[in-house]
Structure 1
Amino acid sequence: MRAPRFLYRLYARRLRRKLNGELLPRHVAVAMDGNRRWARQQGFDDPGIGHRYGAEHLEDLLDWCAGIGIDHVTVYVASVDNLQKRAGGEVAHLMSMIEEVIAERLMRPGNRWRLHLAGHLDALPDATAHALKTAREATADRAGGQLTIAIGYDGQAEIVDAVRDLLEAEAAQGTDIAELADRLSAADIGAHRYTPDLPEADLIIRTSGERRLPSFLLWQSARAELYFCDVYWPGFRHVDFLRALRDYSDRRRGR
């Protein structure tokens, strides 16, 4: 077993050395897909166990990003559709993992990440929404990186909500609809996103082999590079992450 581990570390160091710091993404977003399929692949009778491994694996991703200087990370945890269509027991297990693993660990002393939330928290159980809001408040003053958790989230709904908020704000100021239509810009709509201060995504990674965006950051992905990885999220390794960064750098270098 020693030889494969040594070769793995050697390969990871080689990948890391080849990365150009000036061509690295500023904001990495990950659709963490494949938890249940990974659990089945590993032989677990309860595929929901994959949610625990997936939640714990977020900590690894944040360490990798911090180690290479990436300060903006967004992860897609669950859509409203996921919460409505999945079995009640599985959703309850996923919510408990968010409360006990993600929210709790983010609040630990020494954690550098401050938490932002994107999505409809009213679609979550009260305990889960409370745990995430508490973690957000507890980490608000940190000077480190920014982690955005997209939960109860849908990219199309975010755009609709942004337009609705914009119209309501302009109406409150007495703006004529024709005047607004004449001067409306992308920046106007972007300012009403769930996280308006977050830079647009540079690199979006989706695990599990799916070759599409699951309504994830549709507005913010307009100029993003997309990277699809065949491995399931709990099995996503450091070398897989480094390969995604290498692919991103190569594309940027070729422009």
Structure 2
Amino acid sequence: MNKPLDYIFPNPPEGLNLGALDLDNIPQHVAVIMDGNGRWAKKRAMNRLKGHKAGIEAVRETIRCASDLGVRYLTIYSFSTENWKRPQDEVVGLMDLFAKTMLAEVDGLHEENVRVRTIGDLSALPAETREAFEEAWQKTRNNTGMTLVVAVNYGSRQEILNAAEACVRRALARAAEGEDPTVALTEADFARGLYTADIPDPEVVIRTSGELRLSNFLLWQVAYSEFVITDTLWPDFDRYEFLRCLLAYQGRDRRFGAVK
């Protein structure tokens, strides 16, 4: 982080103390379950897609703030494997929105040295959407700043099943080579088959709109993550809400099962 706090947070609300943020305790990986777009739109008598469009600014704001603070990985849950069950017009609109937003934002992200990658099964996405994400990855893959991880068509249970299958395939390959296939499996062995094999587990998971569930998100990876829940609907989430979440995280005593 090479930008002063008063630059990142130029107009803090009354009562929000920037000095309380410990810059030596910024999580390297923050995961966000972005929730509340539909409710935000309903409160304003708009259709749900208008809420999703309104949430784009919150995504921009969070990316900028996280990058400026020195977060190394920011994972945003944008579309789950279960979201295909939503009304067809909403799904089609979301896929179009993903493509247009990614193409519109990638140059700016590249200039900010942000690397963009995805987790999930992109093969099921419409070609235009899939190509937009792939273009963003190709353009930014050599960047050295924060990695923006977009979870799209992502489901953690399927990810875990894929990792288990990979372990079985490795065991069969050992057997074919005349080696012992029953070698004890370690957590590290299993994690090699996850989408996030080269990404550290998130220290903190933020969920907006007050909901208290994981929604099939990073079930393996969040075993010891801290959870911060805010009632703020995602389109209203800004850098100051992000700051509040980081302060809440920093106020936790992380023991990892040990007694202190």
CA–CA separation in structure 1 for the residues paired with 2:185 and 2:63: 37
Distance 1:26 1:90, change over 3 A: same
Instruction: Give the secondary-structure state (helix, strand or coil) at the position aligned to 1:29.
Output: strand
Instruction: Report which of the two has the higher share of helix.
Output: 1
Q: Is 1:230 matched with 2:231?
A: yes
Q: Is 1:99 matched with 2:99?
A: yes
**Counterpart for residue 130 of structure 2:** 129
CA–CA separation in structure 2 for the residues paired with 1:252 and 1:106: 37
State the Cα distance separating 1:104 from its structure 2 match.
Answer: 3.1
State the Cα distance separating 1:140 from its structure 2 match.
Answer: 0.5
Conserved in 2, the CA contact under 8 Å of 1:15 and 1:246? Answer: no
State the Cα distance separating 1:174 from its structure 2 match.
Answer: 2.5
Equivalent position to 1:30, from 29, 32, 39: 32
CA–CA separation in structure 2 for the residues paired with 1:185 and 1:28: 25
Q: RMSD of aligned C-alpha atoms?
A: 2.3
Q: Is 1:169 matched with 2:170?
A: yes
State the Cα distance separating 1:180 from its structure 2 match.
Answer: 4.7
TM-score normalised by L of structure 2: 0.87
Instruction: Give the secondary-structure state (helix, strand or coil) at the position aligned to 1:209.
Output: coil
Greater CA drift, 25-34 or 95-104: 95-104
Amino acid at match of 1:183: A
Distance 1:182 1:229, change over 3 A: same
CA–CA separation in structure 2 for the residues paired with 1:189 and 1:168: 12
State the Cα distance separating 1:16 from its structure 2 match.
Answer: 2.5
**Counterpart for residue 5 of structure 2:** none
Amino acid at match of 2:96: S
CA–CA separation in structure 1 for the residues paired with 2:199 and 2:145: 14
Conserved in 2, the CA contact under 8 Å of 1:113 and 1:144? Answer: yes
Conserved in 1, the CA contact under 8 Å of 2:118 and 2:152? Answer: yes
**Counterpart for residue 17 of structure 1:** 19
* CA deviations over 1:3-37 (Å, ceiling 9, x no partner): xxxxx924379433211122221100001111111
TM-score normalised by L of structure 1: 0.89
Greater CA drift, 200-209 or 19-28: 19-28
Distance 1:102 1:149, change over 3 A: same
CA–CA separation in structure 2 for the residues paired with 1:37 and 1:132: 27
CA–CA separation in structure 1 for the residues paired with 2:50 and 2:131: 23
Instruction: Give the secondary-structure state (helix, strand or coil) at the position aligned to 1:11.
Output: coil
**Counterpart for residue 89 of structure 2:** 89
* CA deviations over 1:114-136 (Å, ceiling 9, x no partner): 11111111221121111111111
CA–CA separation in structure 2 for the residues paired with 1:122 and 1:195: 18
State percent identity of aligned pairs.
32
State the Cα distance separating 1:42 from its structure 2 match.
Answer: 2.6
* CA deviations over 1:15-70 (Å, ceiling 9, x no partner): 332111222211000011111111112332x2211111113321110111012111
Distance 1:121 1:253, change over 3 A: closer
Segments of structure 2 that go 5 or more residues without pairing to the other structure are: 1-9
Segments of structure 1 that go 5 or more residues without pairing to the other structure are: 1-7
Conserved in 1, the CA contact under 8 Å of 2:40 and 2:51? Answer: yes
Instruction: Give the secondary-structure state (helix, strand or coil) at the position aligned to 1:205.
Output: strand
Instruction: Give the secondary-structure state (helix, strand or coil) at the position aligned to 1:116.
Output: strand
